[in-house]
Structure 1
Amino acid sequence: MKKIVLTRIDDRLIHGQVVTAWLKHLKADAILIVDNDLAKNTMMARIYKAAAPSDIELLIKTIEDSITFLKGAAKPQSIFILTKTPEIIETLQSAEIVIREIILGGMGANKNRRQLIKNVFASDEERAAMSRMLAGGTRISYQLVPDDRQIKVEKELLEKSK
């Protein structure tokens, strides 16, 4: 199985903070974007690959392909997982991918989301997924960049902001 060095939820996936701060901090070999739609959109996939540093392998896979990849014993890698929603991570966990900690980045506002903390907005379904993961022992916190203080997300916070 691959070594997961960080799992992050961020609508923007790859952007300046990820490239400059998190990758330097993590020393990851590869970025795995888990997104069914993006994995099928070759034009957008090319744009993300162009945004990634040339010395980091960028993989864009469906959830199912990500599970197979993460369980694979091929070459050992340190993987930085990026997703847009907590439900994707919950699906990975239900397939026995061990993810003990999640860092929230930007989750933008939309008509279905309400503010959780700072620039993190979550829908009822996303809050429910995070609550289930917390109950299962996964640590969730908000941290924009590695040098920032982590803000823990706890069940009370998910319920309080409803």
Structure 2
Amino acid sequence: MTTLGFIKRCPSYKKVYFFEPESDNYRLAKVNLADKRNIQLINKGCSLKNDTAYLVADKDISVVSSEGDQRIELVALDSVILEDENILIKMDIEGAEYEAILGCMNIIKKCNPTLAVSVYHSVSDFWRIPFLVLSINPNYKLFVRHYTETVYETVMYFVPNEKLLLNS
């Protein structure tokens, strides 16, 4: 789901943090989200710590690397999202999801956010990511949803037990 799709489905949202390290995509997002309220656009990628890296980018995919076309800043979500609110974290960051989860361990421990994490970039993500999240905070039910006929677009959802309708 895109940010615009989320806003359409959840119009009473409080705030959106939008991270995009690639400069052309960031400029496009700035235009597309200009009239939306409480959007914090951040021209950085997400990782386990605040750092710099390079981005190898083309029109379909961008990958963080030690060398590349564009120097970018990386940020740990723990250093940006400091509010203890009802949080949804969606990650589809081209194989950098594991490191980004390491960068938001405090949020996962303290805030119990709902997580939607893409797991199709690497076969090992299918077991590494749930193991990591549940070792940080075991208070989740895990769901998997596959959205296409190909191997792409497989998302793991981590829903805090207290947010499940089944428990009410």
Query: What is the TM-score of this pair, normalised by structure 1?
Result: 0.47
Instruction: Tell me which structure has the larger Cα radius of gyration.
Output: 2
Q: Which has the higher strand share?
A: 2
* TM-score, length-scaled by structure 2: 0.46
| Greater RCO (CA < 8 Å, at least 6 residues apart) | 1
Larger fraction in helix: 1
